A = this chain, B = another copy of it.
Amino acid sequence: MKFSSKVQRCGLSPIRKFHPYAEAAKAAGKKVYHLNIGQPDIATPAVCFQAVRDFAQPVLEYAPSPGIPSLIQAVQGYYDRLGTHLEEGDILITTGGSEALQIVLNCILDEGDEVIVPEPFYPNYSTFVYAAGGEIRPLPTTPEEGYFYADRKRIEMLINEKTRAILVTNPGNPTGVVLTPEQSRMIAEVARDHGLFLIGDEVYREFVYGGEELASIATFEDMPENIVVVDSVSKRFSACGARIGALISRNRALMNHALKFCQARLSVATLDQVAAAALYTVPSDYFNATREEYKRRRDTVVSKLAEIPGVVCKCPEGAFYLMAKLPVEDTDDFQMFLLTEFDDNGETVMYAPGEPFYATPGRGRDEIRIAYVTKEEDLARAIELLGKGIAAYNAKKKS
């Protein structure tokens, strides 16, 4: 039986290969601290569950393909509070941000078309781009520069006749990099000047720890044809399991094409849309509290990392991830060591090895991604274990 060339280019989740070793370590009584998982531990606001409990219709019917009106209105209200108005037709509710991205890529990519993506990037972007027949053109960065990529020349160097879009995650997963409003504007202007889409994956929008707020590219009302926003309730309201996202653009031709895919898959889960609409009524002090909590966690991780000799990590400004360069050659091999050979008082640690976050072959092998979505004391101990592990691993390598 023959499989498609596109699925053969895609990979299984790289973290899976460590799963049996983690299970074996746990079965042997070892405690494993997880820095590899992006599932926050923050409680989902109770209105979410209450809305679902209050659902009183006798038939769990299809929702309208573009989304239920109350959720679309809730998203409109949210953007109004960000200072920019969206029409109803500028919003399509999707099954998570993931589906929004799949849909827009299928709307714009033919075989061989290119999307510029700052590297390192969220590995699932590869699967979505490949499934749509496209190619990722990575925009290189370095750990030493704190994964900075907002440079007009570096971006324009990568544009050719096959380029269709620039895709940025802001705040960044896995890097935590946050664009200044000026940097966002510059990238949007590059897109506009070259007739490209700028797709902004802004699902971590609320998680910015500097003073300045993130400027959503949705506020660039003077570039309606170019701007596309991928949004989600997953991180914003710690409701990852709701799978409610949105595709947002003022480009009506794009939205008309996107609606074809929305109609083909009929609708997004009805109860989850009702729950998501309720989540948008959460007062803004909810965001302040979670933001402060994540900021403390980030500070803990960054300060503990700074104590480990040879680690390169500039303090990231947003999301709840960071990339760090370790003083080891191969973080895959080091992860295996941590699970199978190392422990400190019966404890060890898991992270996400860096290579899958890169499209450029060979890049990222000495880097890791850390998600700081667990309690501060656990994070502190996890980074301590990382430091002790590095020392033990390098001592073993030398011996």
Cross-interface CB contact of A60 among B12, B133, B239, cutoff 8 Å: B239
User: Given that A3-B254, A4-B109, A257-B7 are known contacts, is A241 also in contact with B39, CB under 8 Å in the complex?
Assistant: no
Question: How far apart are the CA atoms of A15 and B111 in the complex, in Å?
Answer: 31
Residue of A95, A124, A251, A269 with most chain B CB atoms under a 10 A cut-off: A269
Are B240 and A12 touching (Cβ within 8 A)?
Answer: no
- In the complex, whether A270 has a CB less than 8 A from a CB of chain B is yes
- In the complex, whether A153 has a CB less than 8 A from a CB of chain B is no
Q: Which residue of B lies closest to A164 (CB)?
A: B2
Chain B residues closer than 8 Å to A145, beta-carbon distance: none
A311: min CB distance to chain B, Å: 29
Q: Which residue of B lies closest to A195 (CB)?
A: B1
CB-CB contacts below 8 Å: A7-45 with B: 7-8, 10-13, 39-44
Question: How far apart are the CA atoms of A2 and B12 in the complex, in Å?
Answer: 31
Are B60 and A1 touching (Cβ within 8 A)?
Answer: no
Question: How far apart are the CA atoms of A144 and B243 in the complex, in Å?
Answer: 45
- In the complex, whether A398 has a CB less than 8 A from a CB of chain B is no
Q: Please tell me the size bucket of the interface on A.
A: 35 or more
- In the complex, whether A225 has a CB less than 8 A from a CB of chain B is yes
The 8 A CB mask of A266-285 against B (1 = contact, 0 = none) is 11111110010000000000
Are B60 and A10 touching (Cβ within 8 A)?
Answer: no
- In the complex, whether A5 has a CB less than 8 A from a CB of chain B is yes
The 8 A CB mask of A244-269 against B (1 = contact, 0 = none) is 00000001011011011101111111
- In the complex, whether A360 has a CB less than 8 A from a CB of chain B is no
- In the complex, whether A98 has a CB less than 8 A from a CB of chain B is yes
Are A238 and B59 touching (Cβ within 8 A)?
Answer: yes
Question: How far apart are the CA atoms of A225 and B1 in the complex, in Å?
Answer: 8
Question: How far apart are the CA atoms of A106 and B259 in the complex, in Å?
Answer: 20
A371: min CB distance to chain B, Å: 13
Cross-interface CB contact of A197 among B1, B133, B259, B266, cutoff 8 Å: B1
User: Given that A241-B269, A270-B242, A272-B272 are known contacts, is A108 also in contact with B4, CB under 8 Å in the complex?
Assistant: yes
Chain B residues closer than 8 Å to A259, beta-carbon distance: 12
The 8 A CB mask of A105-118 against B (1 = contact, 0 = none) is 01111110100000
12 new A-B contacts, CB < 8 A, other than A7-B260, A59-B238, A124-B266, are A4-B133, A5-B110, A7-B107, A10-B261, A12-B260, A44-B58, A52-B53, A60-B275, A99-B265, A127-B263, A240-B266, A242-B270
9 contacts between A and B (CB under 8 A): A1-B253, A4-B109, A6-B106, A10-B261, A44-B60, A60-B275, A95-B269, A127-B261, A133-B133
Listed from nearest, the 3 A-B pairs whose CB atoms lie closest are A241-B270, A127-B264, A60-B241
Q: Which residues in A have some Cβ–Cβ distance to B below 8 Å?
A: 1-8, 10-13, 39-44, 48-49, 52-53, 55, 58-63, 65, 95-96, 98-99, 102, 106-111, 113, 124, 127-128, 131-133, 164, 195, 197, 225-226, 238-243, 251, 253-254, 256-257, 259-261, 263-272, 275
